[in-house]
Amino acid sequence: MKRLIVARWRMILAVMVATALAPVTWIRTELPAPDFDAPVTFTRIATPIRTVGEVEILRAWKLASNSNHFGGYSAMIATGPQQLIAASDLGRIMRLSLPAAGSPIANLSYLSGKIELQKRLIDAESMTRDPGTGRIWIGYEDINAIERRDERMRNPRGVRPPQMGNFSSNKGAEAIARLADGRFIVLAEGSRGWGSRDFAGLLFPADPVDDPAQELRAAEFNFGPPEGYRPVDMVQIPDGRVLILVRTLHWQIMPRFTAKLVLADPAEIYPGGTWSGRVIAEFAPPNPSDNYEGLAMWPRPDGLLDLWLVSDDNRNSFQNTYLLEMRWNPAGGTAN
């Protein structure tokens, strides 16, 4: 019996030693070379509920790739009909072409053209575009900065507005929109405080990149989303109103995300006031649901708007990169 006990203890100790040494062996193992050439695959997925609120879902895809460039998309803009750019929190971009007939195309690359950068310097969380010049503005979350680039994503020029210094480092410039009159709205993802439903907002009177000394102060206001939701992206539509994407995480046995589109009028923004709007669509099961963080819009000749949502998979194996293509009638009612 004693020999059996000793044998068992020897086996337990052997397992403990092997377990302790396992990380060392793993660390010494040569890691595979990064793969930047793997293609992006598009798999069409079903949307059981085609009309959600006022929005009609036209097509939906699950995107996947083994490329090190892929994943983590937290901002998106449209650059033309069926042409999109999505940016990730690791400084990558994905250019998308989504023809009505034929296969979608995706091209992956670096946002900055640099291979190794600190995450806090490349954490792109928001984008907006001037349709007249094609210039693009990018909001960086961890350093609370705004950067402007030309229509080909070159010639970066940035600023760190002091009024954004109070934004949380991990929940900073989550949504940005350039308005047609040249003003800029910036929304933080972090709430005003524990238990607060309001989120910090800034309304810049002009392009903050052209005002590095911040001689023109932004109007400070609050954004009040639906209860439990946070702002993650926004875009101005042709009639001057703004669509704001908000989302929340439901904590349960299997955590899940839901998202909503809120329509608000920037004319109702006042210093110290609370800006809010009405919900026009909700994205929840049984439709494809994940961490939707990117919203893009392109106007159609018939007055309807094409909309797209992209989800941030956080580079987790249990999350997905979904892309939804939708249509909406801003004059009221659904696109049909």
Domain boundaries, the chain: 1-31, 32-328
Cβ 258 vs Cβ 52: under 8 Å: no
Q: Tens digit of pLDDT for each residue in 73-126?
A: 999 999 999 999 999 988 889 999 999 888 899 999 888 665 545 445 577 899
**Phi, then psi, of 16 in degrees rounded to 5:** -65, -40
pLDDT, position 17: 31
Cβ 311 vs Cβ 319: under 8 Å: yes
User: How far apart, in whole angstroms, are the C-alpha atoms of residue 218 and residue 243?
Assistant: 21
Q: Give Cβ neighbours of residue 294 (< 8 Å, ≥ 6 apart).
A: 73, 74, 75, 76, 86, 233, 245, 308, 309, 310, 311, 312
pLDDT, position 31: 46
User: How far apart, in whole angstroms, are the C-alpha atoms of residue 2 and residue 308?
Assistant: 70
pLDDT, position 334: 61
17-26, 43-52, 128-137: which has the minimum mean pLDDT? 17-26
pLDDT, position 123: 76
User: How far apart, in whole angstroms, are the C-alpha atoms of residue 118 and residue 273?
Assistant: 36
Q: Tens digit of pLDDT for each residue in 33-62?
A: 566 678 899 999 999 999 999 999 999 999
- Nearest Cα to Cα of residue 163 among 124, 112, 215, 228: 215
pLDDT, position 305: 98
Q: Tens digit of pLDDT for each residue in 224-256?
A: 999 999 999 999 999 999 999 999 988 877 778
Q: Which amino acid belongs to residue 225?
A: P
b or e along 77-109 (b: 16 or more beta carbons within 10 Å of the residue's beta carbon)? bbbeebebbbbbbbbbbbebebeeeeebebebe
Q: Give Cβ neighbours of residue 195 (< 8 Å, ≥ 6 apart).
A: none
8-12, 239-243, 299-303: which has the minimum mean pLDDT? 8-12
pLDDT, position 6: 38
Q: Tens digit of pLDDT for each residue in 201-221?
A: 999 999 999 987 778 899 999
Please check the confidence at residue 194 and state whether its pLDDT lies above 90: no
Which strands, in side-by-side order, build the sheet including 92-97? 73-80, 83-88, 92-97, 105-110
pLDDT, position 113: 61
User: How far apart, in whole angstroms, are the C-alpha atoms of residue 189 and residue 186?
Assistant: 10
Tallying the residues shown for the chain, one arrives at 336
Please check the confidence at residue 196 and state whether its pLDDT lies above 70: no
pLDDT, position 318: 80
The CATH architecture assigned to 32-328 reads: 5 Propeller (2.115)
> Where residue 165 falls among pLDDT bands split at 50, 70, 90?
confident
pLDDT, position 34: 65
How confident is the prediction for the chain on average, in pLDDT? 84
pLDDT, position 30: 47
Tokens representing residue 82 in the block = 């069926």
Q: Which residues pair with 296 in a beta bridge?
A: 308
User: How far apart, in whole angstroms, are the C-alpha atoms of residue 160 and residue 102?
Assistant: 43
35-44, 296-305, 317-326: which has the minimum mean pLDDT? 35-44
* pTM for the predicted model, two decimal places: 0.85
Task: Name the residue with higher pLDDT: 60 or 194.
Answer: 60
pLDDT, position 10: 45
User: How far apart, in whole angstroms, are the C-alpha atoms of residue 223 and residue 276?
Assistant: 6
Cα–Cα separations (whole angstroms), residue 224 to 11, 239, 271, 323 = 60, 22, 14, 26
